[in-house]
Structure 1
Amino acid sequence: MERENITGVAKTLIVGGGIGGMAAAIALAERGVAVDLIDLDPQWRVYGAGITITGPTLRAYRRIGLLDQIKAQGAITNKTRLFRFDGTHLKDLDEPVIEEGLPATGGIMRPVLHKIMQGKVRELGIPVRLGLTVSALADSADGVDVTFSDGTTARYDLVVGADSVFSALRDLAFPHMAPAQPTGQGCWRISIRKPPTLDMGEFYLGHDNPCGITPCSPDSIYMWMLTPHEERETFRTEAELYDDLKALLAGFGGHAGWIRDSMTMDDWINYRPLVAALQPRPWYNGRVVLLGDAVHATTPHLASGAGMAVESGIVLAEELAHAGPDVAAGLHAYQERRFPRCQDVIESSLALGRLQLSHGSPGEHAHILEGALDRLNQPF
Structure 2
Amino acid sequence: MALVNKVLIVGGGIGGMCAAIMLRRQGIDVDLVELNPQWAADGAGITISGPTLRGLREIGVVDDVLRVGGSWRAVDICDADGALQACVPIDPAHGADGLPGAAGIMRTALASILGDATRAAGAQVRLGVSFEMLAQDAEGVDVVFTDGSRARYDLVIGADGVNSTVRRHVKPDFGGPRFTGQGSWRAVVPRLRENSTIYMGKTTKAGMNPISATHCYLFVLDKREGMDFVAPEQWPRLLAELLEEFDGPIGDFRRALLNGSPDEHRVLYRPLAGHIIDGPWHRGRIALLGDAVHATTPHLASGAGIAVEGAIVLAQELARRHSLEGALLAYAGRHYDRARLVVSSSARLGDIERNGGSRDDHTRIMVNALQALRAPI
TM-score, normalized by length of structure 1? Answer: 0.93
Question: CA RMSD, aligned part only?
Answer: 1.7
Q: CA deviation at 1:24?
A: 0.6
C-alpha spacing 1:376/1:254, structure 2 compared with 1 (3 Å): farther
Q: How does 1:250-269 map to 2 (within 5 A)?
A: 250-263=244-257, 264=260, 265-266=262-263, 267-269=265-267
Aligned partner of residue 211 in structure 2, secondary structure = strand
Aligned partner of residue 217 in structure 1, secondary structure = coil
Q: CA deviation at 1:51?
A: 0.5
Structure 1: gaps of 5 or more residues? 1-5
For residues 103-143 of structure 1, the C-alpha deviation after alignment (integer angstroms, 9 at most, x for no partner) is 11110011000000011011112111111111211122221
State the distance in 2 between where 1:304 and 1:52 align. Answer: 8
Quote the residue 1:3 is aligned against.
Answer: none
State the distance in 2 between where 1:66 and 1:82 align. Answer: 30
Quote the residue 1:292 is aligned against.
Answer: 290
Seq. identity, %: 42
Q: Note if contact 1:208-1:227 (Cα within 8 Å) is conserved in structure 2.
A: no
1:178 alignment partner, one of 161, 175, 181: 175
Q: CA deviation at 1:84?
A: 4.0
Q: Which moved more, 1:53-62 or 1:246-255?
A: 246-255
Q: Note if contact 1:136-1:172 (Cα within 8 Å) is conserved in structure 2.
A: no
For residues 73-106 of structure 1, the C-alpha deviation after alignment (integer angstroms, 9 at most, x for no partner) is 0011111223344545443334212221121111
Q: Note if contact 1:208-1:356 (Cα within 8 Å) is conserved in structure 2.
A: no
Q: How does 1:38-77 map to 2 (within 5 A)?
A: 38-77=33-72
Is 1:209 aligned to 2:207, yes or no? no
Aligned partner of residue 157 in structure 2, secondary structure = strand
1:322 alignment partner, one of 320, 330, 335: 320
Q: Note if contact 1:17-1:163 (Cα within 8 Å) is conserved in structure 2.
A: yes
State the distance in 1 between where 2:375 and 2:178 align. Answer: 28
Quote the residue 1:335 is aligned against.
Answer: 332
Is 1:80 aligned to 2:88, yes or no? no
Q: Which moved more, 1:270-279 or 1:259-268?
A: 259-268
Q: Note if contact 2:169-2:286 (Cα within 8 Å) is conserved in structure 1.
A: no
Aligned partner of residue 46 in structure 2, secondary structure = strand
State the distance in 2 between where 1:160 and 1:116 align. Answer: 21
1:302 alignment partner, one of 295, 300, 303: 300
Q: CA deviation at 1:162?
A: 0.4
Q: How does 1:150-189 map to 2 (within 5 A)?
A: 150-189=147-186
C-alpha spacing 1:161/1:236, structure 2 compared with 1 (3 Å): same
Is 1:91 aligned to 2:74, yes or no? no
Aligned partner of residue 151 in structure 1, secondary structure = coil
Quote the residue 1:33 is aligned against.
Answer: 28
State the distance in 1 between where 2:179 and 2:269 align. Answer: 14
Aligned partner of residue 183 in structure 1, secondary structure = strand
For residues 221-254 of structure 1, the C-alpha deviation after alignment (integer angstroms, 9 at most, x for no partner) is 111111111348663242x211111111111244
Aligned partner of residue 307 in structure 1, secondary structure = helix
Equivalent residue pairs, number: 371
Quote the residue 1:19 is aligned against.
Answer: 14
